Chains A and B, each alone.
Chain A
Amino acid sequence: MTRSKNPVTAARRGVSLNVILTAVVVVVAVLVVGGILLFKNSGSDEGAVPASVLAPEGSHTLTEAPDGAVTVVEFLDYQCPACEQYYKTVTSKIEQDYAGKITFVVRNYPLDMHPLAMPAARAAEAAALQGKFREMYRALYENYNEWALAPDGQAVSDDVERATELFRGYAEASGLDVAKFTADLASPEVQARIDKDIADGKAAGVSGTPSIFVGGQLFEPTGETYADVERQLRERIDAELAE
């Protein structure tokens, strides 16, 4: 910067230096961001993730196809707002419309940023021990605003006690043995099951929620609205069913 003492040439060089450096900053930023995005996309284009990782024996399902031809696997976090939106606008419809035609597997992928994601995953697994996984899955999403959001209705809640109390209510409404449910919530068996889901998710390349796999391939919607996502997911499933 001290090369030139002459104010006139300094100003002239300054302008060009400024323009050049600005261009360098912009180009480098575009290249780095573009490179990361490209790398990420090519990275996820690898071969199909094996079923032993995505949907091992005994996985919880929302609907099952007798022949098991097409399997859709969703890694989700019960407290993740995007997952709740997916439930409301995409997956609950898919589950209904393709009932009996596809196998829809649900795996846990609670994220650290959501304080009640793990307790909610435990509630779903504890219900599953009494054969009521689907009921608890639905109860958790249908009552999302009640347990997952703070009383202001905005931020995600971190009130574990309040949520656990509500989970017990959902358990009771689903006809579960609440005492057993409460004991199971804290059981190492339930925790081990969730840990296995997370480990499988990591192995499958899950980096966030919701992550949906169709036929072993990560489903990557490109649209901007949930309607786009739903349409694209249907297209993917239809294509798999046609094979």
Chain B
Amino acid sequence: MSRALAWLYVVGGGIGLVAAVALILERLAVLADPTHVPLCSINPVVSCGSVMESPQAAAFGFPNPLIGIAAFAVVVTVGVVGLTGFTPPRWFRLGMLVGTALGLLFVHWLIFASLYDIRALCPYCMVVWAVMAPLFWYTLLDTFALPSLRRVHSVILALWYVVIVALILQAFWDFWTS
């Protein structure tokens, strides 16, 4: 595992962890006081309240951010261990690849649910979307050689961000007129 990837795990996993914790805290606040309006509910489009209360926000019967808290904590830990210089065996790195791939898959499902079904955006969730892509992508590049992809590693990542931003703009173009 490269040092750069270890740092990415620490920083990216840390950001994801903070977002997941924030989501859980907002959810608890809403449970304690149903009239509580989450900090991130700014307007009809940017509204984590409506996203958090959607069925997709508890895809497995419990709030998704619980998965985030557990999984991002693992990512941070692996990053810190990587920074000590420990080189994990191949099976471990494949495990990280499978984990981040499942995370990215889940995030895409949530993106499409948010844009086309719930029709609202939740800033904390978008933070998770944003960190999940590089976590998976650089794990993939670190696990397999893939020289042609490595040569344009950040181009592909940037294209992913551009596509997501374009989908967001397109999805909410008519909703919020101004």
Contacts and interface: CB of A to CB of B under 8 A. Distances in A.
Contacts of B175: 80, 82, 208
Contacts of B50: 154
A224 B45 CA distance: 10
Given A1-B151, A25-B155, A154-B53, A222 B43 contact: no
Given A82-B175, A154-B50, A221-B178, A22 B158 contact: yes
Q: Is the interface of B mostly helix, strand, loop or mixed?
A: helix
B150 interface: yes
A209 B158 contact: no
B87 interface: no
A1 B148 contact: yes
A220 B177 CA distance: 8
A153 B147 CA distance: 50
A226 B46 CA distance: 12
Contacts of A225: 42-43
Interface residues of B, number: 32
27 contacts: A1-B148, A10-B147, A14-B150, A14-B152, A17-B151, A17-B152, A18-B151, A18-B152, A18-B154, A22-B154, A22-B158, A25-B159, A25-B162, A26-B158, A29-B158, A81-B44, A82-B43, A82-B176, A85-B44, A111-B174, A154-B53, A206-B177, A207-B173, A209-B177, A210-B177, A221-B178, A224-B46
Given A1-B148, A153-B53, A221-B178, 16 more contacts: A10-B147, A14-B151, A17-B152, A18-B154, A22-B155, A26-B162, A82-B45, A82-B175, A85-B44, A208-B174, A211-B177, A220-B177, A220-B178, A224-B42, A224-B46, A225-B43
Interface of A: 1, 10, 14, 17-19, 21-22, 25-26, 29, 33, 80-82, 85, 111, 113, 152-155, 206-211, 220-222, 224-226
What 8 pairs between A and B have smallest CB-CB spacing? A14-B151, A208-B174, A208-B177, A82-B44, A21-B155, A220-B178, A25-B158, A22-B154
